Structure 1
């Protein structure tokens, strides 16, 4: 500054006192302004430095965050990659299980179809067997009912229907027809012919009575298939007389039993039913 003033003093003509006085305040003003500006610049520089430092700190912090994010991103990518691999493996495993289940389901469907077909066939066979058994059972029931009905055999009849009179004498054996029926369970006795026909094989018991007057024989014979079995006989010169007899016989189904009046004998019956013919099955064989 002094050098500049020295040069100015050598080159310029000497100033007047008023000029020196007017320039000196301007210089001080400029210096003050420049000092103020310099101070402001220093302040601004400090602010700028502070801002730069802050920016640098923020930049370093950002770089640290970026690095951390990169690390995290790398870990996340690794985890993502690992998760993707696990998910892929899980999908493969699930697909395999699904395929296995589909195959098992198909196999079960086939087995079910086979079982349904077999059960359907077996059911039809069982229905057929059941129908056969039912038919057989019904047949057996009917047969048993018939047999039970056939086992219920009992009859009793008298010679007279209510009229009084003699039967006989005849010169040959004469079949007696007991027309008045008291009971005829099983219808084994025929009141039109006087013949009893055994419905089943079994043991039967027969009993008969003969009534008449004296002077002639009163004789009635029980015959089985035309053969003499037993006889009720009474001989008396006068008055009324009666005789009876009974027998158990093993009969085959279809065997016939009847009563016949002996030749030259007679019987007498009235509404009191003196002459009777009865029989019943004791048990079947």
Structure 2
């Protein structure tokens, strides 16, 4: 609006100062110069108006970016807070921490003690007993492997147990070869206090050495 007002005034002034036929050459020159100066002012005013408009647009964009940045920072803080509150549970262990040889046979079913701990985030696994104890309600993944090294008939049976319930097993009780290996896995819900362990069945054996054939692994998928 200001630019338009300046333009109208300038055009009006330019008309009033425009020389007529009775004016001498000096008057004509003076009027022409005045009109030229006014037109120059008009041009500068228009340029200033465009510049002011651009600056206003830039200010709007900066305000928008600042608002977006603040929103992003808030979301990052919320995600960090959620990650900090989420329980972290994961472990992995091998049967022997040194040496080699057979484990078993035992006259009764016996939990295998996986002594070589690779990781134990949350400290829910106890290598002294071989038992995992749930510290939080959730859905969990467990996997175990079994290996034997017998010169004659293989004789290995291990089972994954939840409390006293057998979930799944790996068997190798006959065959012509001396080395056999197998594995199994489950996804199960656990409540606080539930236990999970790998049980060697009565009169059975497994073999392990530095190659770490027999392992027991588990981790929390999500809380429930």
TM-score, normalized by length of structure 1?
0.47
C-alpha distance after superposition, 1:194-228 (max 9, x if no partner): 11011111100000000002423211111111111
Equivalent residue for 2:157? 219
CA distance in 2, matches of 1:174, 1:154: 23
The residue aligned with 2:141 is 205
Give the gaps of 5 or more residues in structure 2. Answer: 1-80
Partner of 1:229: 167
Q: Is the 8 A contact 2:157 2:201 kept in 1?
A: yes
Q: Does 1:283 align with 2:202?
A: no
SS at match of 1:229: strand
Task: Give, in angstroms, the shift of residue 168 of structure 1.
Answer: 1.0
Q: Any stretches of 5+ residues in structure 1 without a counterpart?
A: 1-142
User: Does residue 164 in structure 1 map to residue 164 in structure 2?
Assistant: no
Rounded Cα–Cα distance in structure 1 between residues aligned with 2:84 and 2:193: 16
Aligned residues: CA RMSD: 1.8
Q: What TM-score comes out, normalization by structure 2 length?
A: 0.60
The answer to whether the aligner puts 1:177 opposite 2:113 as a matched pair is yes
CA distance in 2 between partners of 1:162 and 1:153 (Å): 26
2:185 corresponding residue in structure 1: 246
**Higher normalized helix content (fraction of residues):** 1
Matched, 1:271 2:210: yes
1:68 corresponds in structure 2 to none
| Per-residue CA distance 1:102-151 (angstroms, 9 max, x = gap) | xxxxxxxxxxxxxxxxxxxxxxxxxxxxxxxxxxxxxxxxx978852xx2
User: Conserved in 2, the CA contact under 8 Å of 1:210 and 1:243?
Assistant: yes
Partner in structure 1 of residue 55 of structure 2: none
Greater fraction of residues in strand: 2
Which protein, 1 or 2, shows the higher relative CO under an 8 Å CA cutoff with sep ≥ 6?
2
SS at match of 1:178: coil
Asked if structure 2 preserves the Cα contact closer than 8 Å seen for 1:213 and 1:238, the reply is no
Task: For 1:45-64, list aligned pairs within 5 A.
Answer: none
Q: Tell me how far apart the structure 2 counterparts of residues 258 and 154 of structure 1 sit (CA, whole Å).
A: 14
The aligned counterpart of 1:193 is 129
Q: Which has the larger radius of gyration?
A: 1
Give SS of 2:193's match: coil
